[in-house]
Amino acid sequence: MSGIYIHIPFCKQACHYCDFHFSTSLQNKDKLVSALCREIELRKDYLEKKEINTLYFGGGTPSLLDFKEIEKIIQEVSRHFTIATDAEITLEANPDDLSVAQLKELKAIGINRLSIGIQSFFDEDLALMNRSHNAEQATNAVQNARKAGFRNISIDLIYGLPNLSKDRWQENLSTAFALEIEHLSAYNLTVERKTALAHFVKEKKIILPPEQAVIEQFHTLIEQAQKHGFIHYEISNFCKEGMYSKHNTNYWKSEHYLGIGPSAHSYSGLSRQWNVANNNSYINNIGTQQSWYEQEVLSDEDKFNEYVMTRLRTIWGIDVEFVKTTFGSDKADTLVNHSRTYIASGDIQNSKENIILTPKGKLLADKIASDFFI
């Protein structure tokens, strides 16, 4: 499967924890949409005529575009690529952008999956994160999406927040599952450099919870998801049977994808490319066909390490036979030998075919992956 990611670099306001590329000024929105369409045309051969199975509008806040602008981008993709009839077409959205009327327009132009950035169902948490919506809008957004006919809805939640008690995290999860969503992404609050959150933590204006409390919230997340029939298919992602994110799974399974827009990344199997993370530079360079991206050719070691890092996070794990045929028997044997220590400690399941993390091991995913790196 191949996918296309479209980065929409606009937000109403800056969330305190976010380090993604975006602008709170919509002044150049029209020019940006035109540049996106032009890049789609310029990159039409990148995926070598492969059928497109997933199209993902991320950001930023893609729901700040009106439906005609989104439709224009989808039509441009259709002109230069073959989109599968059953393609997953996802739009990331903020709850305050999702009226029933807006949702019906989005569905009419082909959006068939929503990823709603709720983060919390408590106003206190939303204010701390500087989110643009409130708790009532969060609940209404999912209900409105149902009324508009959406049957593939994902929401985001964040745990590890300051003052997030065990009971409040439980209530967040209970509210989410009561809405009968198909997919849940839940992330531990991460302090990224050069964000407002990093400044507040440094100045001790915000005190993060102790590590043990965050671990307990993660375990509660896993238990409650399982109780409600969700599959824990990637460390931060849970879904009903068959409702996993096809687009993100492309990343974790090392499928090829094209990234369109400022800061977007692309992967061809042989190299990675990343676009300039500046709206004006992106618009100007696309317009004059100057280089708007950088490229890195991947070594065999890079490919191996990326395969290990991404697959280890998933329910499918590292396929030992794939490693053997793709990277060589020596690397497969080394992986198996290294995994024995983690099998003994209960962090990896005991299997000859795949190296898969246990629930306990998921807390150590990055460390275990780095131990397997070349």
The three-state DSSP-derived secondary structure of 200-249 is HHHCCCCCCCCHHHHHHHHHHHHHHHHHCCCEEEECCEEECCCCCCHHHH
Domains by residue range for the chain, with CATH = 2-252 (3.20.20.70), 300-372 (1.10.10.920)
60: cis peptide before it, omega within 30°? yes
Q: Tell me the pLDDT band of 23, cut-offs 50, 70 and 90.
A: confident
Region 35-55: mean pLDDT is 96
pLDDT reported for residue 25: 87
Look at residues 341, 328, 340 and name the one whose alpha carbon lies nearest to residue 374: 328
* Predicted local distance difference test score (pLDDT) of residue 111: 98
pLDDT above 90 for 22: no
Q: What is the pLDDT of residue 81?
A: 97
In angstroms, the CA 322 to CA 360 distance is 25
Contact 101, 64 (CB under 8 A): no
Has residue 352 got a pLDDT over 90? no
- What's the pLDDT at 351? 87
Read off the pLDDT of each residue in 86-108 and give the average, rounded to a whole number: 97
Amino acid 156: pLDDT: 98
> pLDDT at residue 24 above 90?
no
pLDDT at residue 104 tops 90: yes
Question: What pLDDT score does 290 carry?
Answer: 87
Q: What is the pLDDT of residues 302-349, one digit of tens each?
A: 999 999 999 999 999 999 999 999 999 999 999 999 999 999 999 999
**Burial class of residue 32 in the structure, from the number of CB atoms within 10 Å of its CB (0-12 exposed, 13-18 middle, 19+ buried):** buried
Question: Which pLDDT band, with edges at 50, 70 and 90, does 178 fall under?
Answer: very high
What is the model's pTM? 0.95
Strands (E), 276-328: 293-297, 318-319
